[in-house]
Amino acid sequence: MSLDVELAGLMHHVAEAGSFADLLADPAGMQRLAAFSGADLPYTAPAVPIRSVEAPGPNGPVPIRIYGPGILRLDGDRGSAAGNASGAALPGLVWLHGGGFAGGTLDMREADQVARELADRTGGLVFSVDYRLAGDGVHFPVPHEDALAAWIWAAAHAEGLGVAPGNLCLGGASAGGNLAVGAAMYLKDAGLALPAKLLLAYPFLHAALPPLKPAAVSDGRVLSSLPRILRFTEDDCQAMVENYIGGPAGMASSYALPGRADPSGLPPVAVIACEYDDLRPSAELFRESLRAAGVQVAFRLEAGATHGYLNHSAALGIVQQGLAFLAAELASAKPFQ
């Protein structure tokens, strides 16, 4: 297989960048990054109602942006919600963006575009979470606790917003996938209600990974030709983990690196892995541990994709494919407990 043609056509915008920090230090860096994401391609994001709320948490309020139809009102003072006008039972998803635990915003495509598209495609609600980022004194368990606080708030209010009882799902991309699995592990261990399903896009769940083994010589050439900012070395992974936990990777709890924990008792899991992604083995290792534990898993290897491809414009066909998979998995979720 080769790199997706549309993605390949965008690579030159970041070909010389050694890191995202280097890219953004360039006066034209933001413009280059926007071009790399496909901002100039013809695409109109779905227009769905949006409301902003804050969930109470142990580290302070956690902002949540809710996407979806039929919301009549949100009482910001009390954090309560009234249901949708139709009275229909809707699917729901608490979603956590990626960014290596240290970056990302609610406005990035992996957050805003994904939330708009999934709400529009399923007719349901997406709760996009603005968790605190690691750095400047913030480390685990703060982002983990923010994810839990957002889940607990959404679970308490979802039915009032029209989500079918027990049908609220939890998910995220890359580091956000880590936070989603870590939160689900905590809920399981604490004996609390679990999500109906976990939806994960190219999750980063392990500190140490075996090297990605291309299926063919041509695959190896594709991987080695990718811009440096799309590669993840062993040192990169270690730095991400140590920044997140605020210490050596060996100190990390199973909630911080949930890929190495026993997944028995988790709800069904849907996973997207990218063909040309150094972090692909993390998704594959997690798939195997889920299967060994008897957990239902739907696994999609996105052919031709690179890590973080949902941060590209949905004008790209490959992004449409990933969104379609997530939407179908969200729409088919059933109560787990």
Q: How far is CA 306 from the centre of its chain?
A: 15
Please tell me the distance from the alpha carbon of residue 256 to that of residue 243, in angstroms, as a whole number. Answer: 12
Let me know: does 233 contact 278? Beta carbons within 8 Å.
yes
What was the pLDDT predicted at 83?
Answer: 46
For residue 289, give both structure tokens.
């541990």
What was the pLDDT predicted at 18?
Answer: 83
Angle (nearest 5°) at CA 258 between 111 and 211: 85
Please tell me the distance from the alpha carbon of residue 163 to that of residue 102, in angstroms, as a whole number. Answer: 31
Q: Is the torsion defined by CA of 133, 134, 139, 140 positive or negative?
A: positive
What was the pLDDT predicted at 39?
Answer: 94
What was the pLDDT predicted at 209?
Answer: 85
Residue 276 φ/ψ, nearest 5 degrees: -110, 75
Note the maximum CA span of the chain.
Answer: 59
Fold of 5-331: Rossmann fold (3.40.50)
What was the pLDDT predicted at 162?
Answer: 92
What was the pLDDT predicted at 215?
Answer: 84
Mean pLDDT by 10 residues, the chain (337 residues): 94 90 87 95 96 97 92 47 59 98 97 98 97 96 98 95 94 98 98 97 92 82 94 94 94 94 97 97 97 98 98 98 98 93
Domain boundaries, the chain: 5-331
Three-class secondary structure of residue 11 per DSSP: helix
Sole residue written with tokens 């997706």: 4
- Angle, helices 112-122/317-331, rounded to nearest 10 degrees: 50
Please tell me the distance from the alpha carbon of residue 119 to that of residue 331, in angstroms, as a whole number. Answer: 10
Q: Is the torsion defined by CA of 187, 188, 191, 193 positive or negative?
A: positive
What was the pLDDT predicted at 70?
Answer: 55
What does 234-301 look like in DSSP terms, one character per residue? HHHHHHHHHHHHTS-GGG--TTTSGGGS--TT---EEEEEEEE-TTHHHHHHHHHHHHHTT--EEEEE
Question: Residue 320, Cβ neighbours under 10 Å: how many?
Answer: 13
